[in-house]
Amino acid sequence: MPHALLLAPWFPPCPGGAERYAYRLYEQAVRNGWTITVATDGHTRSLREAVPALEEGVYRLTRYKEQLSDNRRVTWRSMQFSVLDELHGLLDGLRPIDLVHANSIETAVLGRIVADHHDVPLVVTIHEHAPQTETFGRGRLRLAFHRLAPDAVIAPSSFYYERARAQGVPLDRVHLIPHGVEVPPVVPARPSTGHGPAWGLPEDTWVAVSVGRIYRPKGTLELIRAAAIARRRAPQLRVVIVGPDGPSEYARAAREEARRLNLGEVVRFAGPRRPEEMPAVLWQADAIVAPSLAEGFGLAVAEGMGLGKPVVATAVGGLADLVADGVNGEVVTPGDPESLADALTRLATDPERCARLGAAARRSVLRRHHVATMVAETTALYASLVMTARQSPATVSTLSHNGP
């Protein structure tokens, strides 16, 4: 059975779309004839705490920190390469790898070194939706997409595909493989008392759930202001925000705005949830709302759609792949609380529209975003790259070094 090394900076139980993507490949690739070994940071709690049977093949690296704190070593060299020593020891104890798959920009650097050492193809999936805004962002993008010369770039949405093409990745090296989610065969019916009691809210409450870190790209402030408008038109409407605070003062400002607008009974900050809790969280919603100002894919939106939930979302980034206005959800203008309030009101006051859009949402995810399809297409790409590498005497990528 061919063997891939998947390099992931974080891995479940750490939450996030990139982390769930890595986990789904790790868990299900064996069904398509591949074994995946995961190397990830060990300074997070082990997956064993949540699901004991799922730790095999996941290696959580920790010894690199010893090098960083060793004053006898050149610190800057350790910053760059300390993980490589631990990776080398790990791979020495495993059967040979046939391919390296890097799940971020920083692991793409490690991945290129490991792939070149073993003369195997390098695949990268860059989930960061706005690396150009980081320090030396333009350089980071050119490094990942051009200088490291990946043999294949997997784009989980059209947003990522277009970005890779704009960075000069040749057409035959960028592959649109939509991010996939689990879709249950049967979705339980809505409780007769509604979803409100699950959140400590009154019976017959209509609940819109928003999932994601509370920071500006998620549009949380716009959602709070929309709730203030919509509650006057649909008194039964409540908004539940599920996710951790972001790395700024934005979350505090969002809570202050909810208090200023007297939304204590309308907007509920429910905090973060573990990945294994997310199916229940999303099922306990009448609709999923994603007022994002920027979004690479929209994992919670896709998962909610798979549960038959209608969606209110902005047409930004990967959300445009998921939601079609009036077909499987409501598309609203980014940054416009009034537009968002109108859409929430339409759904909260029209159960038949909710049911119709929700059923269509489930069908669209089954057709385009099922996890089995994602894994099958990804492992087929792996196989093609390995076959090409074995047939060619030169396995190191020949991508031109002249980029944008």
**69: pLDDT strictly greater than 90:** no
Region 239-257 average pLDDT: 92
* Bond from prior residue into 184 cis (ω within 30 degrees of 0): no
- Say how far apart CA 308 and CA 291 lie, in whole Å: 19
- Taking the CA atoms of 261, 264, 267 and 273 in sequence, report the sign of the dihedral they define: positive
pLDDT > 90: percent of the chain: 77
Distance of CA 392 to the CA centre of its chain: 34
Q: Which residue has better confidence, 93 or 399?
A: 93
pLDDT grade for 141, boundaries at 50, 70 and 90? very high
Please give the mean pLDDT across all residues of the chain: 91
pLDDT at 49: 55
pTM attached to this predicted model: 0.88
pLDDT at 400: 42
pLDDT at 63: 82
**377: pLDDT strictly greater than 80:** yes
Region 321-332 average pLDDT: 96
- Least Cα distance to 328 among 348, 313, 340 occurs for 313
Helix (H) or strand (E) holding 155: strand 152-155
- Least Cα distance to 268 among 247, 284, 292 occurs for 284
**71: pLDDT strictly greater than 50:** yes
**43: pLDDT strictly greater than 90:** no
Least confident window among 269-278, 307-316, 394-403: 394-403
- Say how far apart CA 315 and CA 306 lie, in whole Å: 19
- Least Cα distance to 376 among 6, 124, 31 occurs for 31
Pick the CATH number of 3-180+370-391 from 3.40.50.2000, 1.20.840.10, 3.40.640.10, 3.30.450.40: 3.40.50.2000
196-368 adopts what CATH topology?
Rossmann fold (3.40.50)
Answer for the pair 397, 172: CB distance below 8 angstroms, yes or no: no
Dmax (CA) for the chain in angstroms is: 69
Domain with CATH 3.40.50.2000 in the chain: 3-180+370-391, 196-368
Residue identified by tokens 């910053």 is: 79
pLDDT at 133: 86
- Say how far apart CA 316 and CA 250 lie, in whole Å: 20
For the beta sheet containing 3-8, the strands, ordered from the edge strand earlier in sequence to the opposite edge, are: 58-61, 35-41, 3-8, 99-102, 122-124, 152-155, 174-176
pLDDT at 65: 80
pLDDT grade for 79, boundaries at 50, 70 and 90? confident
pLDDT at 50: 53
- Say how far apart CA 393 and CA 37 lie, in whole Å: 26
Q: What amino acid is encoded at 306 in this protein?
A: G
Answer for the pair 26, 6: CB distance below 8 angstroms, yes or no: yes
Distance of CA 121 to the CA centre of its chain: 24
Measured from the Cβ of residue 45, the count of other Cβ atoms closer than 10 Å reads 11
Region 237-259 average pLDDT: 93
Answer for the pair 4, 37: CB distance below 8 angstroms, yes or no: yes
